Structure 1
Amino acid sequence: MQTKNDVEKFIQSYVGHVEKKLHNENQLIFDYTDTAYGKGITEIESILRPLWGEASLAHSENRSINQTILNKITKGIDPSSAEYWGILNDKDQRAVEMAVLGYSLLLNETVLWNNLTIKQQEHLVDWLQQVNHISLPNNNWHFFRIIVNIGLENVGVPLNTEKQNESLQIIESLYLGNGWYADGSPNQMDYYVSFGFHFFSLLYAYFMKEKDAKRAKTYKERALLFADDFIYWFSSKGDAVPFGRSMTYKFAQSAFWSALAFCDIKPFRIEIIKGIILRNLRWWVKQPIIEYNAFLPIGYAYQNLIMAEGYNSPGSSFWAFKALIITALSKDHTFWKANEEDLPLLRGKKLLKEARMLSIRPESDQVYLYTSGQYSKTEHLHNAEKYAKFVYSNLFGFNIAHSNYLRSQMAGDSMLSLSEYDNLFRFRRECTQISLHENYIFSEWYPWRDVQIRTYLIPFKYWHIRIHEIRSTRNLQGIEGAFSIPKPDVLKDTNAGIHEEENRSYVSDGNLYSAIINLHGYDNGGKVITTEPNTNILTSNPSLLPSLEANISQGNNLLVSAIYGGTQPPVFENVPRFFQERYGFRMVQRESETFVKKEG
């Protein structure tokens, strides 16, 4: 995946599979899984989402989109057809799928518009206009209406100014500053900021640069600010940190960078932007979930329904094709002529204030995002695992619980899990208070109404310290989880293995190393938990999870641990030493030290 031809072949292999299935069966209904919005809309999604790549490619080749897909569209928009896509309801999933049709109307007229008869054009306008007659969630969805409306305006349909302004104002109300938006919930700043807000705002800025120059300029400026932070989510290998919902959208991770290239906006040199995009695509095509001439299954790096949300279908993952709008650029464009470059020199530690994250990069291929205070009010499946863990990593991914019963099923990596000695665990979800600093992050959270936990996350280069001040009216069992690694089929490396000792536990598969050490307050020695298979989003293997256990009594308790994760064996002599002082906590590592003042 290095040239435009490589990306074109990738698109064509998937579009060809959709075409073949439609030709043979006249439908894309999937009997083996379903969504909250039903199989009929799932088919619409599966037909239209590939157009993010196919329409872009057709634009650069000055041709129509795939004829089989075009035929399905003309039937879907025809109210007299048995295959009519229907009348929309409020907050309807079909509004999401309309956006790519709006985008197609903004491209060369040979892509879509000129391939329709006058009657079919009327049908398309009527079907798309429905987006102006329904209510939308107050989040990134308003960009679907915005893109549809400017697409319609581009082919001569009068703009619905009232609804367009309404949506633009709602988008504006979600802007936090420094390039970041909140996706509806004030505590949700995930990949939707990149492939939702900025992707569409850049398209708007490009196509509306003359009609709405002021807003276009604002959107470009915000994208430049966002790029300076978002680049910290990517490693030099091309992979990005999995975090938040909709991980099944896969290489949509790089859609923001593709939109920058499409719009010729350069927060970094075009060679750097090209490198980010193509390295990300190359990382993805090496994953077992990517199969040519097929669909993109539900899951992250492998097929996995456990991590899915209720809106994920076998066609949902084609949202990733938004990253392929770079094929709209001609082969003579500077993007394709440029030589890829590595990431620019990035800071080893950077506070991403609006995202409520502290980024740590001990090596260029290792990215850790420490976070507190993010949460999605939508409460999609496994919300806590996707937003509320202490740290997220490109190397280790994160675990999704099979259930909250038994530690092996709960698979609680990068979190403190608590039970009333009944094997039914709770962990951090929403925070009642947070505080962000250049050297640490603080949060307050309540797993029960009468159990207060005040957590400090203090990153060092390869280690980090977790401090929990616990005030409880209950006797509780606490399980502190480090990073998890795949359980090897055979332990081949001489350094690989499972180690359980009095005050620590650590594991390795010869490639990844994870360790946790008791600095204060834990009991019963270090334990390695073997989790259920298919819990980690990067690997289907059962995971090995180093952990510590604590008996938490009624009253005040203090737990302090040091956690390591990396590609080299941990050097235990370098573990930061911990000192509790009157007004805070002091950590000393060799010649350096960090003091954390007690919050509140």
Structure 2
Amino acid sequence: MQTKNDVNKFIQSYVKHVEDKLHNENQLIFDYTDTAYGKGITEIESILRPLWGEASLAHSENRPINKTILNKIIDGIDPLSTKYWGVLSDRDQRAVEMAVIGYALLLNEIVLWDNLTIKQQEQLVDWLLQINHIELPNNNWHFFRIIVNIGLEKVGVSLNIEKQNESLQVIESLYLGNGWYSDGSPNQMDYYVSFGFHFFSLLYAYFMKEKDAKRSEAYKERALIFAKDFIYWFSSKGDAVPFGRSMTYKFAQSAFWSALAFCDIKPFRTEVIKGIIFRNLRWWRKQPIIEYNNFLPIGYTYPNLIMAEGYNSPGSSFWAFKTLIITALSKDHTFWKVNEEPLPLLNERKLLKEARMLSVRPESDQVYLYTSGQYSKSEHLHNAEKYAKFVYSNLFGFNIAHSNYLRSQVAGDSMLSLSEYDDLFRFRRECAQISLHESYLFSEWYPWHNVQIRTYLIPFNNWHIRIHEINSTRELQAIEGAFSIPKPDVLKGANAEIHEEENSSYVSDGNLYSTITNLHGYDNGGKVITTEPNTNILTSNPILLPSLEANILQGNNLLVSAIYGGTQPPVLENVPRFFRERHGFRVVQGESETFVQREG
């Protein structure tokens, strides 16, 4: 995928599938899964979300949207139709789906508005105006109301100033500074910042640059600042670090960059922005989930319900089409004429303070996000795995537990898992306090109310060091997990290299290498855990997870390990050394050393 024509064909292939399914079955309801909001609204998602691409393409080609989808909208907004999309209630999922109609109204009238009779236009207005009469959660959802209202204003509907200001003020209250928003909960800074806040704020800035110039300029400035941080989530080969909830939205990861291109805002050269978008799209085109059944099923790189949230349906994944708004740009636009360029020179380390992350890039195709203090108070499914692991990586992805019972089901990569010797494990979730630095991250957390753990994460050359000071009133079993890799398929002649030693464990499939070494306190040796299949977000294979084990006694305990993960074999003779000193900890490797001041 490299040209406008490539993207056009990609959109058309999916829209045709939606069209064919509607023609053949007269519905898009998927009986094999359900959501918290029911299959009927799932169908609305499946009809409307592709419009992020289809309406954009129709705009650039100066034509109406697909006729089959248009007819479904006409049925859906007609209160006398058996297909009526209904009356909204508070916090209604249908409010989310309204936003793309608002966007379609903001484009030229030929795309949607002029294809409706006067009566149908009135029905569309009535149905959309419901968004001003329901309660919305105080998060990115307020942008849906904002976009719907300016879309309605574009076609002559008087703006509900009270509700519009209410939503604009909620969005403002969630701004953290330095380009970052928090998605409702004060500890949730994930991809929603890019495709739930900046994406819509850029659309607002584009369409309201004259009517609301001051706010539009503020939104543009915030996007320019955010881009300088967000670029650190992407690798040179096009993939991005899986992190947080809603991973099923797939290439929506790059929707922010498409919104920048759409609005002609340039934190980097157009060539660089184009490269980020298209490398990401090409990476996704290689994943089996993209061509799966001509649809975008639930999952990240493969169909997987285990990693889903309760609001995920097969139609949900079409939010990925937000990235395809670049097709709204005419074929003569500069964006299509320039050549892609690689990522600019980025720092090997960058503290993303508002996101509570430290980005480390030992190689341009390797991205590691160290985290402390991230957590979604809305408690989405598998919150701890999606927000609270020690490190997230584009190479290794992350594991989702099948249960909290047995290490093979917990699959605790980049986590310290603890149990009371009953195989029922707990791990870091919410942090009581954190401290963020250019050279390390600190967190204090409590897996039980009477077990205090003070964790230091220290990137060091191509390794990183984990230090856990544990004050416990319980006797516990601890398992420290490194990065995990797919178990090779022996029938294809592939075998993993596995080593379990007294003080370390190591595994490689010839492409990825992961090892963990005891520097202090792990008295039960190194073990490679084989997890259940479908636990890793990147691969359905069972996973091989190097780990160390320790016994935690009542009182004060200290655990220290060195972890390596990469695409080249680690030099095992060059494992960093650890020294505990009066006021902190010293890590040494050859002539390199780092001193970390003890917190508190």
> Under a length normalisation based on structure 2, what TM-score does the superposition of the two structures give?
0.99
**TM superposition shift of 1:494:** 9.9
The superposition leaves residues 142-190 of structure 1 with CA deviations (integer Å, 9 ceiling, x where unpaired) of: 0000000000000000000000000000000000000000000110000
**TM superposition shift of 1:573:** 2.6
Q: Structure 2 regions of 5+ residues with no counterpart?
A: none
**TM superposition shift of 1:590:** 1.4
**TM superposition shift of 1:96:** 0.1
Distance in 2 (alpha carbons) for counterparts of 1:527 and 1:153:
63
Q: Matched residue of 2:471: which SS?
A: strand
- Aligned match of 1:31: 31
- Aligned match of 1:470: 470
Q: Matched residue of 1:425: which SS?
A: coil
Equivalent AA in structure 2 for residue 75 of structure 1:
D
- Aligned match of 2:120: 120
Distance in 1 (alpha carbons) for counterparts of 2:568 and 2:418:
31
- Aligned match of 2:310: 310
- Aligned match of 1:209: 209
Kept after mapping to 2: 8 A contact 1:140/1:184 = yes
Q: Check if 1:300 corresponds to 2:303.
A: no
**TM superposition shift of 1:460:** 1.6
Distance in 2 (alpha carbons) for counterparts of 1:9 and 1:494:
37
Aligned 1:172-571 pairs, distance under 5 A: 172-291=172-291, 294-490=294-490, 496-571=496-571
Distance in 1 (alpha carbons) for counterparts of 2:419 and 2:495:
34
Q: Matched residue of 2:37: which SS?
A: coil
Distance in 1 (alpha carbons) for counterparts of 2:394 and 2:198:
22
Equivalent AA in structure 2 for residue 103 of structure 1:
Y
**TM superposition shift of 1:16:** 0.3
The superposition leaves residues 444-470 of structure 1 with CA deviations (integer Å, 9 ceiling, x where unpaired) of: 000000000000000023100000000
The superposition leaves residues 561-597 of structure 1 with CA deviations (integer Å, 9 ceiling, x where unpaired) of: 0000000001123221100001100011211211111
Distance in 1 (alpha carbons) for counterparts of 2:194 and 2:342:
21
**TM superposition shift of 1:22:** 0.5
Q: Structure 1 regions of 5+ residues with no counterpart?
A: none
Q: Check if 1:584 corresponds to 2:584.
A: yes
Q: Matched residue of 1:341: which SS?
A: coil
- Aligned match of 1:148: 148
Kept after mapping to 1: 8 A contact 2:241/2:397 = yes
Kept after mapping to 1: 8 A contact 2:487/2:496 = no
Q: 1:493 to 1:232 in 2, by over 3 A?
A: farther
Distance in 2 (alpha carbons) for counterparts of 1:260 and 1:78:
36
More displaced stretch, 574-583 vs 549-558: 574-583
Q: 1:149 to 1:214 in 2, by over 3 A?
A: same
Equivalent AA in structure 2 for residue 61 of structure 1:
E
Aligned residues: 600
More displaced stretch, 589-598 vs 534-543: 589-598
The superposition leaves residues 226-279 of structure 1 with CA deviations (integer Å, 9 ceiling, x where unpaired) of: 000000000000000000000000000000000000000000000000000000
Distance in 2 (alpha carbons) for counterparts of 1:436 and 1:157:
48
Distance in 1 (alpha carbons) for counterparts of 2:371 and 2:380:
19
Q: 1:253 to 1:420 in 2, by over 3 A?
A: same
Distance in 1 (alpha carbons) for counterparts of 2:395 and 2:417:
22
Q: Matched residue of 1:523: which SS?
A: coil
Distance in 2 (alpha carbons) for counterparts of 1:53 and 1:113:
17
- Aligned match of 2:72: 72
Q: How much is the aligned-residue C-alpha RMSD, in angstroms?
A: 1.1
- Aligned match of 2:132: 132
Q: Matched residue of 1:309: which SS?
A: coil
Distance in 2 (alpha carbons) for counterparts of 1:15 and 1:492:
37
> Under a length normalisation based on structure 1, what TM-score does the superposition of the two structures give?
0.99
Equivalent AA in structure 1 for residue 550 of structure 2:
A
Q: Matched residue of 1:244: which SS?
A: coil
Q: Matched residue of 2:490: which SS?
A: coil
Q: 1:297 to 1:492 in 2, by over 3 A?
A: closer
Equivalent AA in structure 1 for residue 367 of structure 2:
V
Equivalent AA in structure 1 for residue 395 of structure 2:
L
The superposition leaves residues 404-457 of structure 1 with CA deviations (integer Å, 9 ceiling, x where unpaired) of: 000000000000000000000000000000000010000000000000000000
Distance in 1 (alpha carbons) for counterparts of 2:114 and 2:360:
51
Kept after mapping to 1: 8 A contact 2:488/2:494 = no
Distance in 2 (alpha carbons) for counterparts of 1:557 and 1:222:
44
Q: Matched residue of 1:528: which SS?
A: strand
Q: Matched residue of 2:351: which SS?
A: strand
Q: Matched residue of 1:354: which SS?
A: coil
Kept after mapping to 1: 8 A contact 2:274/2:341 = yes
Q: 1:493 to 1:437 in 2, by over 3 A?
A: farther
- Aligned match of 2:99: 99
**TM superposition shift of 1:492:** 8.4
Distance in 2 (alpha carbons) for counterparts of 1:492 and 1:130:
57
Equivalent AA in structure 1 for residue 433 of structure 2:
Q
Distance in 2 (alpha carbons) for counterparts of 1:576 and 1:206:
51
Q: Check if 1:593 corresponds to 2:570.
A: no
Distance in 1 (alpha carbons) for counterparts of 2:150 and 2:211:
10
Equivalent AA in structure 2 for residue 550 of structure 1:
A
The superposition leaves residues 290-319 of structure 1 with CA deviations (integer Å, 9 ceiling, x where unpaired) of: 117721000000000000000000100000
Distance in 2 (alpha carbons) for counterparts of 1:162 and 1:297:
39
Q: Which 4+ runs in 1 deviate beyond 4 A?
A: 491-496
Equivalent AA in structure 1 for residue 347 of structure 2:
R
Kept after mapping to 1: 8 A contact 2:477/2:552 = yes
Identity of aligned residues (%): 88
**TM superposition shift of 1:503:** 0.4
